[in-house]
Structure 1
Amino acid sequence: MQKDSLSDNAGGGLRGLRARPSADLLKTVCDAYGIHSLSDIIDLGGSANLNLFATDGHNRYVVRVYRPYVNEARLADIQLARQVLNAQGIPSSKVRLTLNGQPYILFDGRLVEVDRYVESDANMASWEHLAAGLPLLGRIHTILRDVQFSTEGKKNQPFANYIEPQNALGMTLKGIQRIRGWNPSAYNMRLITATEELAYLVSAAEQELVPMLPRQMVHGDFWDNNVVFRDGRIVLVTDFDFMGERARIDDLALTLYYFDCSDEPSSAKRLGGLRGLIDSYDSGLTEHLSMRERLSIPLAMARQPLWSMGGWIALLDDEEAARRHAAGMLGDVEWALRIIRELDRWQAAFS
């Protein structure tokens, strides 16, 4: 369980706390799914949901308990996305049906589903694995573009690692205002100054480009242990909790941000490597990236740290949790500022 898991409620209690394992939960699951008993229980982690590994002696499962803000319409669309992708040969979670033929149950006001556990030996967190995984993201975008989702499915969740371009400046300033109320330290003043500069620069640079970008349904968190390998082959794409309708390059930019955000200088070699990853993604698309989209990718990468300020520090209910979150984000903001200050180089490398 993550450090902040007991204090990461947000939005005035709207997000709810991450569920905790209990004997009552396991019994309810066993009764609903016709399982004699579950053992070898392991919390697999995950910042959003409770994900429990469990076995009945013959089969291995993941018991997933959603936070209270995830409603039935939203879960139905998450399951629809996975079903469609599975049908197209992209390995995604496969739910087990209850004895009554239902794809989920309700426990303590939360939705619960049971999936088949998939064995893996590597996550998508290296140059090699990203080069293999990003064409699949292109295929996912191509497939999801033509699927009809409900309004709930299309919504960009307020407690995700994403901030809409048109909301980034205003929400970031709310987070900054919260920090100003802490009698901020020298570190926090540096964070305020850097984040404010980043928000204004990104907002101004995206103002003309973003309205022209095509929007569609995207995965929302295509990174690390959400894309897993076995023997060099992708065996599972999971965690669609943050899916929503947005520019498809925002999905790609999130992956590149998580992979590249570091103190390493943006050398020509490194920018060339990132360009190669973008081309790998583009190879999976039927409608290839436009020049406008390629020029927008560095800006979308630079916008990423703003969801920490505008989406978490501004919204976390517990002040100590917000302070801990702020304590770890200055490096990310300074990395993003380097992109903005060298924007011509980044755009030239990606175009």
Structure 2
Amino acid sequence: MPLLLVVAIPTFVCSLLSLIADTIFAVFYYALPPERHYRQALIVNLLIADWINALNNTISGAVALSRRNEESQLTRGPACTANGYIGQFSVQAIDFNILIISFAVLLTVRQSSITMEPPWWAVVLICILPWIPSLITSNIALGLDAYGPVSGNWCWIKPNLVLRYTLTHGWRIAIFFLTIGIYTYVYLYLKRVYGKLNLSTDSSATQDDLDLNMAEELPNIKQPAHGHVRTFSVATNHDSDEQPLSPTLRRGGPSTDGIAPSSSQVAMIGRKSHGDIQRVNTLGNTQAAARKKALRKMLLLNGYPILYVILWIPGIANRIVETVGESPVWLKALQASTQLVGFANALTYAWNEQLSKRVKSRWEFMRRTNRRPTVLPSRDTTGFV
């Protein structure tokens, strides 16, 4: 039967968009290399899988459109088998890459030592892991001669509920739930930590307030032999750091020999405390600002798996319907959303603040010098995706 253009054209356009996006970001990552960090390696690994899948489906889509008036646009044979094999291999690698990135985010948030500075062999091993299940399942389908034309613009596993769920859909649904569970935990954990940081850097902990409180307390408070100056911590909203003072110059109260401190001693204590608090505040505010910036980046990651799941829902629904009967045209057309996964991954995972800064820096450099650009090292050391 003639090709349904309402299905073929959106599917081809979406796969082409993913191919273009993945290619552009691959060029960016080559011309403007990011800092050497395992999370960047995972993103590149995901881009490779997305690029392979998008290229594979774009080629088969172009072939199908070129044969749109023929009885069968895609027929079983070596080309169809290769298309189905590459599709199964790459699409499952995408699923497992997203799962591993989710675990990497979880370990980073929990500040696991595994994720701080892993050795190069560990990074290579982590990047290889997503390809192992896809290699196994694609070869099983090949051994069972299960590849053939399916609805859409490509070849894949023939309509067999057991095979599709065993080799693909079962894994994907499990990854959906695992990924959503991980990011839900990350979101709740960061909201708790982020809320504390917000409270601890409110106006109640400003330099003026600290100085005023300290000055008001100096004349009246009696301390044991070792007095302390209390300062607010930026890590939580209630903890405090304590710095011991000299045994003879304490904060308020009588001295060890019963003689009250003179006004010059009080002034000395005030100046010393003021300097100490100012240094602690400056350091604390800097650390808090950096931490809050990093946490904001991590919180943004929570939207990624939601988009991934939404784009795959029509495709999974269509394949389920195909196993029990003929799928309606509208559901086949909605399946085109699955081809936007590569495009979405490129925009969410690859286009981050580091890459944005590198592109802007290169653009400014080209405008100032008006000459051919050269590769500049990354200046962003945050390491967050």
> Would you tell me which structure has more helix in proportion to its own residues?
2
Smaller-chain TM-score range?
Answer: under 0.3
| TM-score normalised according to structure 2 size | 0.23
Higher strand fraction (1 or 2): 1
Q: State the TM-score, normalized to the length of structure 1.
A: 0.25
Larger Rg: 2
Q: Taking CA–CA contacts closer than 8 Å with sequence separation of 6 or more, which of the two structures ends up with the larger relative contact order? A: 2
